[in-house]
Amino acid sequence: MFSLSYLKQTKLYQEAIKKGREEGQQRGKLPAQLDYITLATALDLDRERGREVP
């Protein structure tokens, strides 16, 4: 059997960890990328009034 420390040194493991971190960062950024119409709709707010908010 392989040890955990050996597994962590493999390229496959390192690439999987890197991809997971990148996807996690992208998911964290998604709410910041919402436009005001999507946000107003999700919050059931008046879309025209949402444009007034800076």
CA 42/CA 39 separation, integer angstroms:
5
Q: What is the pLDDT of residues 1-54, one digit of tens each?
A: 778 888 888 898 899 989 988 887 777 666 655 666 676 777 777 656 655 655
Task: Give the domain ranges of the chain.
Answer: 4-51
So what's the pLDDT on residue 34? Answer: 63
pTM of the model: 0.46
What tokens appear for 32 in the block? 């910041």
User: Residue type for 45, please?
Assistant: L
C-alpha 37/C-alpha 31 separation (Å) is 13
